[in-house]
């Protein structure tokens, strides 16, 4: 009876862990979408490595979402084949999550170059670009309270006088407030956006890495429970 009770406990623990995995899968999908939107809408980035990690995270989330449901059914029905299949798939997902964490870490090391190149490109194309691009730059400068890539002087080509910046650089944004105020610290933000954006991106990427590793660890515990339950089923114990 002691072993039977232990197997019952393992069965329900595995079911509970799979429910947690199901929620984790949903969380990974949302997290991946948010990272992708941030990288390509808040800041237009063309570096392909930037899309790698969020796409992998979304893919892992979708697979985890369905595999967890599969694992729940296997645990509840005490089906050896289903639990074995679940364990194999979860093992592959863990490898993919570790890969996503590594990709995020690699991209984190390239953030300085990617941010600087992207901001420089946005500033160069600002006047002749679409309204969407201009709004992206303006929203970025307003939200981060910055101006230009490295400083407000990056906008030297913006106006014919070489002293005008976009109104979004102003401390208090009003119509034509940036005219002739490039180096006037009392009216415009003179610090560039690169440092602030770089810090924000590194922080967000770090959270993505931590989330992937924590979920991978939880999934490893799930594999251990699945192996214990498979052993119990294979040994012929009644776990109902």
Q: What is the pLDDT of residue 239?
A: 43
Higher per-residue pLDDT: 196 or 55: 196
169 vs 12: which has the higher pLDDT:
169
What pLDDT is recorded for position 240? 45
Residues 111-125: tens digit of each pLDDT: 777 777 778 888 888
Across 20-34, 58-72, 175-189, 215-229, the highest mean pLDDT is recorded for: 175-189
- Predicted confidence at residue 65, as pLDDT, reads 79
3-state per-residue secondary structure call for the chain? CHHHHHHHHHHHHHHHHHHHHHHHHHHHHHHHHHHHHHHHHHCCCCCHHHHHHHHHHHHHHHHHHHHHHHHHHHHHHCCHHHHHHHHHHHHHHHHHHHHHHHHHHHHHHHHHHHHHHHHHHHHHHCCCCCHHHHHHHHHHHHHHCCCCCCEHHHHCCCCCCCCCCCHHHECCCCCCCCCCCCCCCCCECCECCHHHHHHHHHHHHHHHHHHHHHHHHHHHHHHHHHHHHHHHHHCCCCCC
Asked whether the beta carbons of 61 and 26 are under 8 A apart, the reply is yes
Q: What length does the chain have?
A: 240
Q: What span, in angstroms and rounded, lies between the C-alpha atoms of 17 and 183?
A: 58
Of 34-38, 67-71, 72-76, give the lowest mean pLDDT range. Answer: 34-38
Q: Mean pLDDT throughout 220-234?
A: 78
Lowest-confidence segment of 20-34, 35-49, 152-166 by average pLDDT: 35-49
pLDDT in tens, 180-222: 888 888 999 988 888 888 888 777 777 777 877 887 887 788 8
132's tokens: 């969407």
Q: Which residue has the higher pLDDT, 208 or 150?
A: 150
**Arithmetic mean of pLDDT, 30-49:** 62
Lowest average pLDDT, out of 44-53, 106-115, 150-159, goes to 44-53
Percentage of residues of the chain with pLDDT beyond 90: 5
pLDDT for position 238: 46
């Amino acid at each position: 009876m002691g072993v039977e009770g232990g197997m019952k406990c393992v069965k329900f623990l595995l079911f509970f862990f799979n429910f947690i995995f199901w929620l984790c899968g949903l969380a990974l999908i949302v997290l991946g979408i948010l990272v992708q939107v941030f990288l390509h809408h808040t800041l237009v980035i063309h570096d392909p490595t930037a899309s790698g990690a969020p796409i992998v995270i979304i893919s892992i989330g979708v697979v985890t979402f369905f595999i967890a449901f599969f694992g729940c059914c296997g645990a509840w029905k005490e089906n050896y084949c289903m639990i074995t299949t679940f364990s194999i798939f979860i093992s592959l997902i863990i490898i993919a999550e570790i890969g996503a964490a590594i990709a995020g870490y690699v991209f984190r090391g390239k953030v300085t170059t990617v941010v600087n190149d992207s901001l420089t490109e946005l500033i160069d194309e600002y006047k002749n670009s679409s309204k969407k691009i201009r709004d992206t730059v303006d929203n970025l400068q307003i939200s981060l309270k910055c101006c230009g890539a490295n400083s407000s002087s990056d906008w030297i080509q913006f106006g014919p006088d070489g002293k005008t910046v976009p109104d979004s650089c102003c401390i208090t944004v009003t119509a034509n407030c940036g005219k002739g105020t490039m180096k006037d610290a009392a009216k415009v933000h003179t610090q560039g956006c690169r440092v602030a954006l770089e810090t924000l991106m590194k922080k967000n990427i770090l959270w993505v890495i931590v989330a992937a590793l924590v979920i991978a660890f939880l999934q490893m515990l799930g594999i251990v429970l699945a192996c214990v339950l498979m052993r119990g089923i294979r040994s012929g114990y009644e776990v109902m």
